[in-house]
Amino acid sequence: MASIEWRRVGKRKQPYCIAPTDGEPFAFAGLWERWERDETVVESCTIVVTTANATIAPLHDRMPVILARADEARWLDPALTDPAILQPLLMPCAPERVRVWLVGTAVNRPDTDGPDLMVPLM
């Protein structure tokens, strides 16, 4: 799994691909809630962010909280109700867990798709 982050370069934006170095999917810390208002059910979710690590910082000042494999079950445990227990997880992952590379601007076109979009430019 990979994601795209854009960085302004002069008057244009340049896309960069971000992926785990080990090739396994990231587990982002997220929050989900279901509630009702005026007989309407609303389900919402968000990805929790933190300050950027050294790998991501040249692209952006923040990044998703990427959970360590050992912490995934703890984050998802519905029995944990004290936020202080999870607070230590809300930090940037180690820089060596992510890799970043330059990709072409075709990733932004709705009529293009496929693995070629992730080929490094340099």
Q: What's the pLDDT tens digit per position in 19-52?
A: 999 999 999 999 999 999 899 999 999 999 999 9
Q: What is the pLDDT of residue 109?
A: 82
Instruction: Please report the domains of the chain, with CATH numbers, ordered by start residue.
Output: 3-118 (3.90.1680.10)
Burial of 18 (0-12, 13-18, 19+ CB in 10 A): buried
Q: What is the pLDDT of residue 1?
A: 67
Other C-beta atoms lying within 10 Å of the C-beta of residue 98: 20
pTM, to two decimals: 0.84
Distance of CA 46 to the CA centre of its chain: 11
Pick out the chain residues at pLDDT < 70: 1, 122
Distance CA 38, CA 16 (A): 43
| Dihedral (CA of 55, 100, 68, 27) sign | positive
